[in-house]
Amino acid sequence: MPGLRNKHLRVPVSNEEEVAIKAKAYETGLSVAKYMRLVGMGYAVQSRIDNQAIEQLLKINADLGRAGGLLKMWLTNDVKVKIVGRYEIEDTLQSIRETQTVMLSTVLQLQKNHT
């Protein structure tokens, strides 16, 4: 029966290896036993953190799109530019810059986690 797991394997590891294995299991959202079983069977285990980072980047990208669309609307509509004013446009540009900074930070952190 494939689902019956009544055998245990003992694998000696160093303190550093234990910490690293537990951290990798945590990153995937799996128990240490399940993580070790999947890795030992040759399965690629996808990091849960990577998925969270990708979702965050998608949200940031959507925020940038909305801010850019609003700015474009203001700049192509002379009446709106007069109503909205220079300060609101500058605030929107600053918001876009801040969002880009957050996005870059997220990308660099994701890259750092994979090196």
Residue 82 has pLDDT above 80, yes or no: no
Confidence of residue 74 (pLDDT cuts 50, 70, 90): confident
Under 8 Å between Cβ of 45 and 39? yes
Query: Is the model more confident about 53 or about 7?
Result: 7
Q: How far is CA 39 from the centre of its chain?
A: 23
Q: Please give the model's pTM, rounded to 2 decimal places.
A: 0.45
Q: Hunting for tokens 């203001």 — which residue is that?
A: 74
Q: Note the pLDDT tens digit of each residue in 32-47.
A: 999 999 999 898 887 7
Exposure string of 42-73, with b = 16+ CB inside 10 Å and e = fewer, is: eeebebeeeeebeebeeebeebbeebeebbee
| R_g of the chain, CA atoms, integer Å | 24
Query: Is the model more confident about 53 or about 34?
Result: 34
Query: Is the model more confident about 31 or about 111?
Result: 31
Confidence of residue 115 (pLDDT cuts 50, 70, 90): low
